[in-house]
Structure formats: structure tokens, C-alpha cells
Structure 1
């Protein structure tokens, strides 16, 4: 079992649920399906070392490696109310990107945290970068206050992220401070399928200001360190919802999400961060 898998197992034991802003309902036994997507502005990268100065710096995947910054992300969520004040839910979103950079302008090197191998990328090199992110959440929420205008829900849960980060092309493999340029097979990646789970706590709020209209807000934050893995997460959204029919809803909101993960390896530490923000449109149907 890897460090990440061990971390995931411990978090599932200690924290098993979460809730989302699309989980509002009034009746026990009601099921709400929400689908949609949002146009994201992504910010991702990792900490690397400059071979020129031997100092660490943040390698920006969008600026330095030419990964697409703006892209549409799909979203799906299912929420089920067990009782009037208790809800279970799960959701999923994804962002898969790859890019070919024909001329690297920022030289860098990084070390695999487990094998100790050092990879060097020189200016002018041709590199293919793959960075795939899938985010899944399962959860529970408790409504602790409700009147004619306000609806407040406390949340406790878990985000699970699947990260796949790969580099191929003109990489230098360094041994005993001697670097030899090797061509890494396009199907070979340096880091793959890193699962980074993060628990969170938060609050959902909805305010009804007119018939069939209400303002919604959702905020979550958490920081945790278990064994060699630590990380922080911030998740916030705010928007406005309109009830078209008793069963059909639409919601327009703005979402901000940021996660930072540190892995302490046998040979070196590795830091990967990922975040996105942008407008989100959701359509929901109540069964």
C-alpha cells in the first residue's frame, strides 16, 4: 500500500461524508439530480529546481508548459434526503488536459520522491505534459436552521482527487550530477494516479428573497497532515437559483476551488497545487 493509499484509508475511517449547494430540498425521500458545467480558469503547477541557480521555484503548468488555462468542466451530482433535515449526496467533476511545448523557455529539474531519480529539462527542449484531475465527493449534511427565508446546513465530508501528471519528450536523466538526454516514451509518465483525499467542514446558506428565487452560498475549508501527506483545501461558491416548476430548478453561480498537496518521499518532497474558478450553470430535477 502506497503512502497515498494509506492516507486515503485513514481519512475514510475518520471522515466519511460531505454535502453540496445543490442538495437543498424540503421533503424526506426526495431525490435531486443536478447536471451542468462551468467555464473554468485553471491555475496549476508544482515546485521544481532551477539548474542555473539551484533554487526552488513554482513551475506554472499554464504559462510555462502551455496547458490550456480556460476550459469547460462537466459536473454531475445526486442528493437524497433521508429525513427532513438529513441529506446524503455525491458529485463528480473532471478536467483532463495535455499540451506539447516545442520550445521550453524555463529550464527546470525535479526529483521523483520515491525512486530518487532526477529529471532535467533544458531550455529549447520539446516536452509533452499531461495533467488530469478528477474530483469526487460523497457526503452528509444536517439542516440546523430553517424559516420562511433562511435555510442553513452544516457540512462534514471528504473530497477525493485523482491526479495524473506526466512528462514525456526530451528529458534528461541525471545520475551522480551527470545528465544524459533520453527520449521518454509518450506513453510513459513520471507521476501517475496520485490520489489526494482531503476532508472538509463547511456551511451552506440559502436566502429566499422572492417567489421561486433565492440566493445560495457554500463554503468549505480544511487542513490536515497524516504521515507523509499534508494538504489544504478551499472551496467556495455563490449564486442565484430559480425554481422553474415544482420539480425543475436552474442555478447560476460563481465557483472557486483550490487544493495544495505535499508528499514527503524517501528522497525528496513534492508539492503539487491545483485550482480553478469561473461561472457555473446547473440544471436540477426533483424526483
Structure 2
């Protein structure tokens, strides 16, 4: 129930923010010159290929390295929406926020025993699985180079990812006996990042954006690193509206060390994006 309320609140907040920025832009006669935008809204379609490996261990029951796509039958390709908001302050400070969600299900007969969170899911039985990740990203950047055709900056940020992983199937309870059980793990992993970004506007009609974010650090019960790389090209269809396409790569190498379990998660996705961006001057 708490997770549902959080997601509902986030959706309301994004809707209110988008409406407020749109109203402000229309009221001010907005122009979509990327180097001069004070506020922007981006609605994105993302089409990634996905590769996921997860291990959840308990004391005395080391977990199996499970390939979620090959072992559990989860989709290797997905389509997901993303929302991004941005604002410029004092000419050189830029703040951006982003949300997107990846939600997958799988069902497959196991070709080997899979140990997950202390349960041994038996070979040849069907395992129903689910994995979802809600990704929230906030970055604050400073432009250290700026002229009429390009900007280059650096910033700090936070990737906070709300994961849920669930397996249901027949597990071993003795030498021969089986019983149906469900194992579920959910956790919110905060990962700070540092990065560089740039904008290049060679003509009044075309805008090129790129950024790289990375950091490997331990925060509380979570360690490992995250990498985010993206690049895109936009075309100014009107004074306010930009349409474009790009490529994005995101990789997690996450280690979890809780009192009652330990985990490893390698979670990579990459693919093309298309987007609609509204810029307000």
C-alpha cells in the first residue's frame, strides 16, 4: 500500500509540475531555443534491450546466479515511457528530474534447481516471476563553458531505484517433497552520481545533447556502481516544440548487504529513444 501511494503521489506531482511549466511557458510566449530555455518538459519513449542477473543469498543457502531473461523467461525487449523536467537558474545552474518504470513478468519451467532467498525452486517445475523497477533521477549541474552555440557543464545527482523481484513455484522441502511458495524481495537503492553534459546548437533548427553519469560507492546497505550514457538530436518543429531521437545506456552493478540476506544485481538496458520536448524561454 505504501509503494502504491508513493507512485500515485509521484504521478500527481509530475502532472502538476508539467501543467505549471506548460502554463508558464504559454503565458510568456515561449521559444524553444535550447541554449536559452529556462524550463523544459520532455516526454520520451524508450525501447531498450535488457540483460539482468540476480542473486539473493541467505546464511547457509548461497543463491544461484539467475539470468532473468533466459532462466525465468522475462522479455529481453520492452517499450517504456519516461518523463523529464528541467529548469535553469542564475543562467549557469541547471536542475533536471526524471522518472521511468520498467515492469516485466516471466513464466518458464526451470532447467535446473534455482536457489533464491533460501528457497530451492525445483528443476522442471514452472516458475512465475515478476521484476519491476521505478527509477527516479535528480541532477544539479553547473555550466563552466557557455557561448552562443554550445554549453558544457558538470554536475552531481542521485539515481534512486525502487526494485521488486518475486518468484513463485514449487520448492524443495525435503529429499522428495515439494510445496508451492512465493519469495519476494523489494528495496530502494540510492546511488549518487557525478557527470558531465553538453549541448550543441549548430543552427536555429537543430539541437544536440549528450551526458555521461557514473559513480561506484557504498551507501548504507548498498554498494556498487551505476552508469548512465545518453545522446540525442532534436529538431525544432516550431518555436516551442522540439522532436528528436537518441540512444541511451544504463547499467547497474548493485551489491546488497542486509542483516538477513545478501544480494547481487547486474541490470543493464540500452536502446533507442524518441521524444517530444517543450522548451520555455
Q: TM-score range by the shorter chain?
A: 0.7 to 0.9
2:222 paired residue among 208, 226, 229? 229
Runs of 4+ in structure 1 deviating by more than 6 angstroms, as ranges, are none
Cα distance, 1:150–1:173 mapped onto 2, change above 3 Å: farther
User: What SS class does the counterpart of residue 201 from structure 2 fall into?
Assistant: strand
Kindly indicate whether the alpha-carbon contact (under 8 Å) linking 2:190 and 2:219 is maintained by their aligned counterparts in 1.
Answer: no
Cα distance, 1:168–1:55 mapped onto 2, change above 3 Å: closer
In 1, Cα distance between equivalents of 2:173 and 2:86: 49
| 1:9-31 superposed Cα distances (whole Å, 9 cap, x missing partner) | xxxxxxxxxxxxxxx5415xx32
Partner of 1:115: none
5+ residue gaps, structure 1: 1-23, 113-117
Partner of 1:104: 110
Cα distance, 1:81–1:106 mapped onto 2, change above 3 Å: same
| 1:208-245 superposed Cα distances (whole Å, 9 cap, x missing partner) | 23332133211010011134321200100122122222
In 2, Cα distance between equivalents of 1:281 and 1:173: 49
Higher strand proportion (structure 1 or 2)? 1
Partner of 1:190: 184
Partner of 2:52: 44
Kindly indicate whether the alpha-carbon contact (under 8 Å) linking 2:248 and 2:270 is maintained by their aligned counterparts in 1.
Answer: yes
User: Root-mean-square deviation (CA), in Å?
Assistant: 2.3
In 2, Cα distance between equivalents of 1:282 and 1:90: 16
Kindly indicate whether the alpha-carbon contact (under 8 Å) linking 1:120 and 1:179 is maintained by their aligned counterparts in 2.
Answer: no
Partner of 1:76: 83
2:244 paired residue among 242, 246, 251? 251
Matched pairs, number = 245
1:82 Cα shift? 2.2
Higher helix proportion (structure 1 or 2)? 2
TM-score, with normalisation over the residues of structure 1?
Answer: 0.78
1:171 aligns with 2:179: no
Kindly indicate whether the alpha-carbon contact (under 8 Å) linking 1:92 and 1:137 is maintained by their aligned counterparts in 2.
Answer: yes
| 1:138-177 superposed Cα distances (whole Å, 9 cap, x missing partner) | 2322111112332112121101000000011212357xxx
| 1:22-45 superposed Cα distances (whole Å, 9 cap, x missing partner) | xx5415xx3211102111101112
261-270 or 197-206, which deviates more? 261-270
1:181 aligns with 2:178: yes
TM-score, with normalisation over the residues of structure 2?
Answer: 0.80
| 1:161-213 superposed Cα distances (whole Å, 9 cap, x missing partner) | 00000011212357xxx6852212xxx54212x10110001011122233321
1:80 Cα shift? 1.6
1:48 Cα shift? 6.3
1:264 aligns with 2:274: no
User: What SS class does the counterpart of residue 207 from structure 2 fall into?
Assistant: strand
Partner of 2:42: 34
In 2, Cα distance between equivalents of 1:221 and 1:269: 24
Kindly indicate whether the alpha-carbon contact (under 8 Å) linking 1:86 and 1:142 is maintained by their aligned counterparts in 2.
Answer: yes
1:92 paired residue among 94, 99, 103? 99
